[in-house]
Amino acid sequence: MEKLHLLFVFSFSWLASHLNMWLRTGIGNSFLLLVTEMLIAGISLLAFLVILCFFLGYMERKVAAFMEIRLGPNRVGPKGSLQIVADTVKLLFKEGLTPDGSDKFLFNLAPFVVVVTSMLAIAPLAFARDFQLWDVNIGIFYVTSISSMAVIGILMAGWSSSNKYSLIGAMRSGAQIVSYELSIGLSLISIVILSGSLRLSDIIQSQANGWWIFKGHIPVLISFIIFIIASTAEINRAPFDLTEAEQELTGGFHTEYAGMKFAMFLLSEYINLFIVSAIAATIFLGGWMPFHIGNLTGFNHAMDYIPSSLWFFGKTFFIIFIIMWFRWTFPRLRIDQLLNLEWKYLLPISMGNTLLVSAMAVFGWYL
Domain with 132, as residue range(s), is 2-11+93-363
Q: Length of the chain in residues, anyone? A: 367
Q: Give pLDDT tens digits for 303-341.
A: 888 888 999 999 999 999 999 999 888 988 888 899 999
Quote the longest CA-to-CA distance of the chain.
71
Cα separation, 61 vs 73, whole angstroms: 7
Confirm whether 31 is domain-assigned. no
pLDDT in tens, 57-72: 999 999 999 998 998 8
Strand partners, 82: none
pLDDT confidence band for 26 (50 / 70 / 90) = confident
pLDDT band of 11, cuts 50, 70, 90:
low
Residue type for position 156: M
Is 42 contained in some domain?
no
The pLDDT, as a whole number, for residue 333 is 87
Average the pLDDT over 162-191 and give the result.
90
pLDDT of residue 6: 43
| pLDDT score of 10 more than 70 | no
pLDDT for res 231: 93
Cβ burial, residue 269 (10 Å; 0-12/13-18/19+):
buried
Quote the percentage of the chain above a pLDDT of 70. 95
Q: Does residue 233 lie in a domain region?
A: yes
The answer to which of 22-26, 70-74, 140-144, 306-310 has the lowest mean pLDDT is: 22-26
Degrees, nearest 5: CA angle 78-83-89: 130
For 7-34, b/e burial (b = at least 16 CB within 10 A) is ebeebeeeeeeeeeeeeeeeeeeeeeee
Averaged pLDDT score across all residues of the chain: 87
Distances (CA, A) of 326 to 60, 238, 250, 267: 12, 7, 22, 20
pLDDT in tens, 234-261: 898 888 888 777 777 777 788 888 888 8
Question: Is the backbone of residue 276 left (phi > 0), alpha (psi -120 to 50) or beta?
Answer: alpha
How many structural domains comprise the chain? Answer: 1
Phi-psi region of 287 (alpha: psi -120 to 50; beta: other; left: phi over 0): left
| 3-state secondary structure (DSSP) of residue 33 | helix
pLDDT of residue 41: 83
In a domain, 85, yes or no: no
Query: 175: helix, coil or strand?
Result: helix
